[in-house]
Structure 1
């Protein structure tokens, strides 16, 4: 639907993977909901969710070493975080599988494909670390199929580019699982939004920037009605729920092509605008956002399209992050399927920027975000993260030869003439008052929700897109608690509500996971 919904029940700002999943889930759980999506750019899901602007790794904790700390004093590696992430990613697979099976979306190979996930290290200390990581992970049923190797021939059989031309005197190790995925989050977002926009009472509008976001005086706007599911829910008369449902927001938008402005009133706003979320939260004057700031980090990839090289690497290979680099800049050599063809990406390489969004951002974004309430926080982080600032400046001035030195850690025989540098989008690292000296390099994905549950916003970075369904289910639980207990949940996300990390649930999990992967054509 291309016309704006008058006084929708839900407004989603941004057309990325978070908004797409949230909108689709809400509509499946309550078909009577009226949902409006606003996207500032002319195209949908072309910022952080765009396939070229992220690694496309279905982050399931399999190969990402940044999710597991170094060895403990007793030599072990804590692996609980990767177990948690694996279960969270499974929620995404389950919902997308339901979307395919129910006809919401089609052709899953256009957005998800199987690819082995490999962790790769070199040097005696790193080999010992990876062995300990493998020992901890392989005990859990999620990772029972993981393999560990130090033998060069075996590692070379998994990924020949890793071993050819490598110094035989340096010990190496790798782990591998064949159950990994490559995901085009932009494509799955556009598919879900196409379905959502075709539903009664729903609209998805591009070229429509939110220029005003303020609380409505006296509650919901004129003409706003309560969805039937809210009217029917037990306890709707509770004072706490009445407070939530009476809150509302005026959302003013401007069409970038016609200049037309329009204001709608809604009961719930989700800010899924990527880097633009910081400025929108400041516009809304949300008390919970006081002291919140943002630090933008640009990115670049090295890309290889040569068929003879691409054909020899069928994996996503992650290593250790470089000194001073943020966790979002952990180097990896990835098989990608983008624009209908297979390619190789290496990176990302960070870059200094003051823009919060790649397509619709401005160099003034960072200066405009500095307010009296977050100035002290930003100054503190700057003072305690000088090595990160130095790293970003160094990254932005790198030559091709500098970048190839990093690639040679993974692919010793790589030649500069086989690779080209492309833009990798922008990530805005959220900075909170509670961030201490550890600072922004350790801040992950988080949802900020207003006290009255009428607004939620996504902040942070990895593993965000991969666990988007789990994240938005938490949003629904907070702001639409009557929907999270719907009997439909068992059909829409079969794994929701059960802890499949527990050993006693391993057999049931295996059955559900296999069915989802069959629907997604991964097996």
Structure 2
């Protein structure tokens, strides 16, 4: 940031921690740090006029509390055996998030649970005998684990109609289907969580500024960072630009995290690129549909499709209003954020990531072709997709809603060949003074364990001091629920009571 001749240079302010981005990850990290170290000064910056307007916005995501209950791509079949590792890890992580949310509800930080989390059973839907047998095997395998003990399987249409009537009505009797149903599923409003966290932080002395964009980061000789902050307010309402000197920087800015870390010259992001994927939903508030679909139903994705394109039909409860989403219809867009720039992708290309990005382009031509095809889908084609879930659907009852932008990670593998990664990854500088999060789902649902890992990596000298406070917030810290059915039952029962969710089925109560 340079000053025009004859003008005063931007004012410089100091803080212990700077949060870049106003989404659920920054909000969660800010809350955890404020609880652990209330004497630290924390500043937060969001480039849009309000926080939670990108991926955390409830209309930009499906609101699934990702816990491995219904996501079929989390349990691949390998050599005839269901691999449960990702489903188990995701569920364990989500239970950690539930514990933190419960603690903050009990201590008055968060409002009534129904302002951000609600019951919504999670279901998986498959067609055809081969996939039905896969789903049966999946349920039989998962139900032996304490965090999946409530999951039921059924091919019986009367039973399926009791759980989700729209899946059955009008369906051809020759269309063989089966489902799993788990009442412990949730619908989460991550936008509300984000706003409540930031409101609490602001009230308790944390400086949270909107319409403020971090445009550059430069490390100082003492290891701290100078951030250039640009006011993005409308013409005539802009305030002065300024600089922030921070001892630690967290970049929770979605796809723009890579841009900032590249500008900062961090070698840890060498070779990294992003594959942006846009999306759209079909959306309805029709009173003849919404009250009859109170679950989230996931199906198998097309071969080669990214996880975010798993088709699903979701009950939503946002700010007290019910609706149903179907999709997503993925597509291609060079922006790294919904409110980003069409130059995001080309401007992220560097000599060190050209090869990995070209490798991914060559290796994923079918994926690119599929995404391009989704962009060109007509309304009748979209209606056919919807009717796989809801046979009597009429496209006239649904509207198009643009979803958030996702930026999937590209990075070199062990052979130095570029690989497309699905999931979330923490990138930290060698000295631990900067950390950023790249990737997509299930990031929001697992925000708390992501931040625990970040705290451990970037503040190792604080581990012993912070452990008692963290143990108070997360009683199972360092333990694995899957290995202890009694602890799992106790933990899920406690958080379900606090958050007004469905209690679990104890392993000993299974039929």
2:214 counterpart of 1:210: yes
Q: What pairs with 1:228-247 in structure 2 (closer than 5 Å)?
A: 247=223
CA contact (8 A) 2:12 2:245 kept: no
Partner of 1:389: 368
Alignment of 1:151-166 (within 5 A): 151-166=156-171
Q: Does 1:252 align with 2:231?
A: no
2:479 to 498, 505, 508: 498
Q: Residues 451, 324 of structure 1: CA spacing in aligned structure 2 closer, same or farther, 3 A cutoff?
A: same
Deviations 1:268-320 (A, max 9, x none): 11110012111111111100001111111111000011011101111000000
| CA shift for structure 1 position 357 | 1.2
Given candidates 75, 84, 87, the residue that maps to 2:92 is 87
- Please list the CA deviations of residues 57-91 of structure 1 after superposition, one character each: whole Å capped at 9, or x if unmatched: 0000000111111x233x32111221111110011
Q: Which moved more, 1:310-319 or 1:164-173?
A: 164-173
Partner-residue secondary structure (3-state), 2:471: helix
Report the counterpart of residue 34 of structure 1 in structure 2: 41
Consecutive unaligned residues in structure 1, runs of 5 or more: 220-246
Match of 1:65 among 72, 94, 117: 72
Q: Using a 3 Å threshold, how does the CA distance of structure 1 residues 437 and 167 change in structure 2: closer, same or farther?
A: farther
Q: Which runs of 5+ in 2 are unaligned?
A: 1-10, 503-511
Map 1:9-158; keep pairs closer than 5 Å.
9-69=16-76, 71-73=77-79, 75-158=80-163
Q: Which residue of 2 aligns with 1:314?
A: 294
SS of residue paired to 1:24: helix
Alpha-carbon distance in structure 1 between the residues aligned to 2:227 and 2:500: 40
2:253 to 265, 273, 292: 273
Tell me the alpha carbon deviations over residues 221-241 of structure 1, each in whole angstroms, 9 at most, x when there is no partner: xxxxxxxxxxxxxxxxxxxxx
Paired residues, number = 486
For residues 417 and 377 of structure 2, the distance between their equivalents in structure 1, rounded to whole angstroms, comes to 26
Deviation of 1:512 after TM superposition, in Å, equals 2.3
Cα RMSD, aligned residues only? 1.7
| C-alpha distance in 2 between matches for 1:493 and 1:101 | 13
TM-score, normalised with respect to structure 2: 0.92
Structure 2 Cα separation of the partners of residues 181 and 83 of structure 1? 17
Once the two structures are superposed, the pairs formed by residues 284-295 of structure 1 within 5 Å of their partners are 284-295=264-275
Give the Cα separation in 2 of the matches to 1:349 and 1:292.
26
Match of 1:238 in 2: none
Question: 473, 478, 487: which one pairs with 2:452?
Answer: 473
Q: Is 2:127–2:175's contact at 8 Å kept on the other side of the alignment? A: yes
Q: Deviations over 1:109-160 (max 9, x none)?
A: 1111011000110100100100111111001111111111111111111101
Q: CA deviation at 1:6?
A: 3.0
Taking structure 1 as the reference length, the TM-score comes to 0.90
Output the CA distance in 2 between the equivalents of 1:153 and 1:442. Answer: 40
Q: 1:181-223, CA deviations, whole angstroms, 9 ceiling, x for partnerless residues?
A: 00011110110111111223x211110000111111x21xxxx
Tell me the distance in 2 between the aligned counterparts of 1:319 and 1:439: 29
Give, in angstroms, the shift of residue 403 of structure 1: 0.9
Runs of 4 or more above 3 Å deviation: 435-442, 482-485
Which residue matches 1:7?
14
Q: Structure 1 CA distance, aligned partners of 2:63 and 2:434?
A: 28
Aligned match of 1:232: none
> Per-residue deviation at 1:107?
2.0
Contact 2:359 2:419 in 1 (8 A): no
Q: Is the 8 A contact 2:63 2:187 kept in 1?
A: yes
Q: Check the 8 A contact 1:16/1:272 in 2, yes or no.
A: yes
Question: Is 2:393 the counterpart of 1:414?
Answer: yes
